[in-house]
Chain A
Amino acid sequence: MAETLNPRQDLREWLAFVLVWGAAAVVTAVFCWLLGDIVWNGLSRLSWTFLTAPPESAGRRGGIGPILVSTFLILGVCLSVSLPIGVGTAVLLAEFTSDQSLFGRMTRRSLDVLAGVPSIVFGLFGNAFFCKTLGLGFSILSGGLTLACMVLPILIRSTEEGFRAVPANYRLSAAALGLSRSTTLIHLLLPAAVPGLLVGLVLGIGRAIAETAALIFTSGYVDRMPESLLDSGRALSIHIFDLSMNVSGGDANAYASALVLVIMLLLINGTAAWLADRGLHRRIVTV
């Protein structure tokens, strides 16, 4: 019996090796180049003043204080609307509708389609519905609500997966002990589904915080400090877009703003990973 590979197998092995590692190397290289470029060009501008000061001369000078505030407000509106609706729908889909039921299938199909809808479509919808029909105008509220619509499909589907990943015997053993459905849900299933929820949340926030197209039409691009949720506010991603495309001489601040955005995303990812880890331990030890 031949212990070594024949030349053809050898070549195939080698090709597979090159393809797999090559693909990984290309992806990593692109990421490093992008990140390196942003850090290289943005780091020198980054300072406490940059983070707190208002922009001057259309953003060429000054900082991004009001823009950060607007970004967080938009994100806050988005999450406070999408989280309860998202978790509620996920519970309905995973715990109270069967896989095969028409309602369940239709809802899931619609969500999957919605998750793939381009953000510009969400932007136009938000503009027509929230800004015009509901009369909220170009405002942080309109922007946040539009983002909530965008984030919901991702949030619902991954939270639902989280619930479905909970072993069926939890439900059976809880029922066999005479525990009510709501108790089982709150005390056993929800904590066990938290990792799925967090994955959805991170993906959702990631999509929301980097969103530009949907916000141009809804929250607008006024770069003043917002005084209420009904004021227009410029999100960080729109600021970057504006500085790099419309403002000559804005590149340096665009780089610095992009660096802030990347750092925020990394922080959110890290926090979610840490929370999921901690949540898992807590769930096992005490709850």
Chain B
Amino acid sequence: MIPADSHTKSQPLSSTEMPPSIAVPTPLIQINKLSLHYGDRPAFRDVTLSIGTGGITALVGPSGCGKTSLLTALNRLTDLIPGCRVAGEIRMGNMDVLAPQTNVIHLRRLVGMIFQKPNPFPLSIRRNLEFPLREHGSRDREQIARTIETVLQDVGLWDEVKDRLDSPALALSGGQQQRLCIARALALSPAVLLMDEPCSALDPLSSGVVEDLILQLRGRYTVVIVTHNLAQARRIADEAAFFWVHDGAGRLIEAGTAQQFFEAPRDSLTAAYISGMRG
């Protein structure tokens, strides 16, 4: 048995202590002492984490430890939640994400998000992709058509839907809908993709297809993925960060390269969690 307070001995890693990562050389997102509250209830406290360019970073931990809240702070969807307060600092490249003067529309174009449940709009497949593009100022029909084809090929959906682009997106299967949502995010050429348990609402086959797709995105996009599936995190992640609830709020316990994280975790709580003894 591991004592409940064992994790308090090790502090979350700051970026300077972070061991050099092989796949992800430069940090794109730097999170500093970030805390988030819903009204008086804290979701997580004092999270300091750096996320490298072009890698896949998996956020793991039990439910309610603030992983999804952290994702929504990164593209400021937290602005939409009444009573939600975010304190601390998030830097993305040289953008100060939380600064009031930051253009959130620009930010959200730069940071795409995939939700747990596929959520295409109740429009046709084509309109789902075309609508955000047009809203962001694309007017050239041919250019839009080319982008649609490219992103649908990127997510492996082109051959399945090219003959029925005008049929309703909601008629697609769950896995196809999720891939369409990924294509919709890719169409805006983001730098970062936030994924909130993108496979958890899918059947095992579709889940596998989406997981392969995420692997193909490695290197081209910086992916931050929340997952409850440790095996999946082990398969796809370059870096991993482990969260745990402590004193009623989520805390970052340990972060590092996936290899070190899964094979030689420094914190005993991490070790217990990944070996299935806790959580």
Contacts and interface: CB of A to CB of B under 8 A. Distances in A.
Contact of A188 (B113, B115, B121, B166): B121
A177 B75 CA distance: 10
A177 B185 contact: yes
B279 interface: no
Interface string A90-127: 00000000100000000000000000000000000000
A177 B184 contact: yes
A167 B170 CA distance: 14
- 10 A-B pairs closest in CB distance: A178-B108, A176-B113, A178-B109, A169-B119, A173-B119, A177-B132, A284-B168, A178-B105, A284-B122, A98-B82
Contacts of B112: 176-177
Interface string B163-204: 000111010000000000100110010000000000000000
Interface string B92-128: 0000000000001111110011010101011110010
A192 interface: yes
Interface stretch (A63-71, A132-140, A179-187, A212-220): A179-187
A194 to B, nearest CB: 12
Nearest to B117: A169
A171 B121 CA distance: 10
Nearest to A286: B124
A175 B132 CA distance: 10
A286 B127 contact: yes
B164 to A, nearest CB: 11
Contacts of B41: none
B1 interface: no
A186 to B, nearest CB: 11
Given A174-B121, A178-B106, A285-B167, 8 more contacts: A172-B115, A173-B115, A173-B119, A177-B184, A178-B188, A180-B135, A286-B166, A287-B123
- Is chain A's interface secondary structure helix, strand, loop, or mixed overall? helix
A5 B75 CA distance: 60
A180 B122 contact: no
B77 interface: yes
Nearest to B187: A177
A228 B108 CA distance: 54
Nearest to B171: A284
Contacts of A98: 82
A177 B77 contact: no
Contact of A172 (B77, B127, B135): B77
Contacts, number: 73
B205 interface: no
A176 B77 contact: yes
Contacts of A170: 119, 121
Nearest to B116: A169
B80 A175 contact: yes
B122 A179 contact: no
A178 B132 CA distance: 8
B136 interface: yes
A175 to B, nearest CB: 6
A284 to B, nearest CB: 5
Contacts of A169: 115, 117, 119
Nearest to B108: A178
Contacts of A284: 122-124, 168, 170
A171 B123 CA distance: 15
Contacts of A175: 77, 80, 108
In the complex, which of the residues A172, A177, A180, A187 has the most CB atoms of chain B within 10 Å of its own CB atom? A177
Contacts of B105: 178-180
A229 B123 CA distance: 42
Given A177-B185, A285-B124, A285-B166, A183 B119 contact: no
B277 to A, nearest CB: 35
B123 A178 contact: no
Given A169-B115, A176-B77, A285 B168 contact: yes
A283 B122 contact: yes
A171 B79 CA distance: 12
Contacts of B75: 176
B263 to A, nearest CB: 34
B83 to A, nearest CB: 9
Contacts of B119: 167, 169-170, 172-173
Interface string B62-78: 00000000000001010
A167 B135 CA distance: 21
Contact of A179 (B115, B123, B132, B170): B132
Interface string A35-52: 000000000000000000
Contact of A183 (B104, B108, B123, B135): B135
Nearest to A173: B119
Nearest to B123: A287
Contacts of A177: 108-109, 112, 132, 135, 184-185, 188
Given A183-B135, A287-B123, A171 B80 contact: yes
Contact of B127 (A167, A171, A287): A287
A178 B119 CA distance: 15
B254 to A, nearest CB: 28
In the complex, which of the residues A172, A174, A178 has the most CB atoms of chain B within 10 Å of its own CB atom? A178
